[in-house]
Structure 1
Amino acid sequence: MRIYLKTILSSLALAAIVGVSAPHDANAADRIRVHGTVENLDGDTLKIKDSDGRDIVVKIASGLKVLGVKNASAADIKAGDFVGIGSQPAAGGINSAVQVVIFPASMKGTGEGDRPWNVRPNGSMTNAAVANAVKDVNGQTVTLAYKGGERKVSIPDGTKIVALTPATREDLKPGAAVSAQGVDSGDQTLAADRLAVGLDGATPPM
């Protein structure tokens, strides 16, 4: 019986979080992702429960580096930072952010560009450097500059914002939120080569 998993289509949010270095993996159509909470970790076998209550076994690739996700705020976004912002059209002519991922300097350039984001209707995922950031009474507006173009996005108060940081397998504690990406190896098992875990109560974005 094959595992119930969500196929990755054009969403770069999760792909960016777990380390995809280009917007289109050669085998993207075969890759899948899961979100859930840790039940337990035994060696290279991670058991998680998804949002629908399904139990999923994740086999972690040897030597895999775990990426941490911590909560952040709009005040943490500075000009020059490299970010991934999932957004959708809003009144006023510019997109409104749904979620923001702040990358560490070592991941600058990950999935750079602007492309459709199927998590929200008419959504866009933009991975780019912040050209400027302006704070006003209604939140913050950033201009994202990427090769070949730019996009201005408003970040309303309450937008989910996270920053990426190093983590270890010790952070895969029961109850921690996780996102895993890899291929379905059958028998209710995901063979994962990318893994992100929420730290201090944070949840990896969709």
Structure 2
Amino acid sequence: MPVRRSSLSRPLVAMAVLVASSLYAVAQQSPTPSRVRGTIEGVDGDVLSVKSRSGEDVKLHMTGDMKVVGIVKISLSDVKVGSFVGATTVPGADGSQKAVEVHVFPEDMRGTGEGSRPYDLRPNSTMTNATVAESVAGNDGRTLTVKYKDGEKKVVVGPDTPVVTYNAGDKSDLKAGAKVIAFIKKLPDGSYETNRVGVGRDGLTPPM
């Protein structure tokens, strides 16, 4: 009987190793990108060609209901208590959350993506979309206390941190040379589509 148990266990062990190897392989796959940042190379019908910041040529199929928004630079003083903002932050050496960029949503976009989550702009970066509850001037910029439905965060915004907002745009803004951030989805055939593109105005590179 011991010999029989051993012979039966070998296939089970082999199967367990195979499953573990498969799970490891899946875990090691690069996550599907959800954003493309780069420069428009051209537009051909409903296909938007973008040279990504990493140098890749990406073709995006634009959906019929795609929304285009302009991104413009504003001053830190334009961020008021009550503003609904998005802030990309990274941990500072002192444990504080340092803003890499801040974008102020117009009223018709209030509530967009409210909350805090990991973000792909920089290593260890986080995106927090929330309402400014307090703004305190410091020796080097401002500290914003932002509140969202599940919590709050203090964000340190330096004087050189890019601060932007959105304004209305349309497909006519999608011109070669414009800097964009496109929100994308991978289709079953491996291609990508986009239903929202942010375009930097006056040569601005979207900082988010």
**What TM-score range do you get, normalising by the shorter chain?**
0.7 to 0.9
User: Could you tell me whether the CA contact under 8 Å between 1:84 and 1:100 is conserved in 2?
Assistant: yes
Match of 2:147 among 142, 145, 149: 145
Q: Which residue identity does 1:7 align to in structure 2?
A: T
User: Could you tell me whether the CA contact under 8 Å between 1:56 and 1:189 is conserved in 2?
Assistant: no
Match of 1:77 among 76, 79, 88: 79
1:31-180 → structure 2 map (5 Å cutoff): 32-180=34-182
Cα deviation digits, residues 152-197 of structure 1 (max 9, x gap): 1110121122212211111111100112222234888422122211
Structure having the higher Rg: 2
The CA deviation at 1:87 is 1.0
User: Could you tell me whether the CA contact under 8 Å between 1:38 and 1:178 is conserved in 2?
Assistant: yes
User: Could you tell me whether the CA contact under 8 Å between 1:115 and 1:126 is conserved in 2?
Assistant: yes
State the secondary structure of the residue aligned to 1:170.
helix
Unaligned runs of 5+ in 2: 1-29
User: Could you tell me whether the CA contact under 8 Å between 2:143 and 2:154 is conserved in 1?
Assistant: yes
TM-score by length of 2: 0.76
Q: Distance in 2 between matches of 1:51 and 1:125?
A: 20
User: Could you tell me whether the CA contact under 8 Å between 2:186 and 2:192 is conserved in 1?
Assistant: yes
The CA deviation at 1:33 is 2.2
Distance verdict in 2 for CA 1:188–1:175, change over 3 Å: farther
Q: Is 2:7 the counterpart of 1:7?
A: no
Q: Which has the higher helix share?
A: 2
Q: Distance in 2 between matches of 1:102 and 1:94?
A: 21
User: Could you tell me whether the CA contact under 8 Å between 2:32 and 2:186 is conserved in 1?
Assistant: no
Q: Which residue identity does 1:74 align to in structure 2?
A: L
Aligned to 2:7: none
The CA deviation at 1:92 is 4.6
User: Could you tell me whether the CA contact under 8 Å between 2:42 and 2:50 is conserved in 1?
Assistant: yes
Q: Which residue identity does 1:44 align to in structure 2?
A: D
Structure with more contact order per residue of length (Cα contacts < 8 Å, sep ≥ 6):
1
Q: Which residue identity does 1:71 align to in structure 2?
A: K
Q: Distance in 1 between matches of 2:157 and 2:130?
A: 15
Number of corresponding residues: 179
Aligned to 1:20: none
State the secondary structure of the residue aligned to 2:108.
helix
The CA RMSD over aligned residues, in Å, is 2.3
State the secondary structure of the residue aligned to 1:173.
coil
TM-score by length of 1: 0.77
User: Could you tell me whether the CA contact under 8 Å between 1:57 and 1:188 is conserved in 2?
Assistant: no
Distance verdict in 2 for CA 1:52–1:146, change over 3 Å: closer
Q: Which residue identity does 1:200 align to in structure 2?
A: D
Q: Which residue identity does 1:140 align to in structure 2?
A: R
The CA deviation at 1:51 is 2.1
Cα deviation digits, residues 28-78 of structure 1 (max 9, x gap): xxxx32111112223322222122333222211113121211122211111
Aligned to 1:15: none
Work out the percentage of aligned pairs sharing the same amino acid.
43
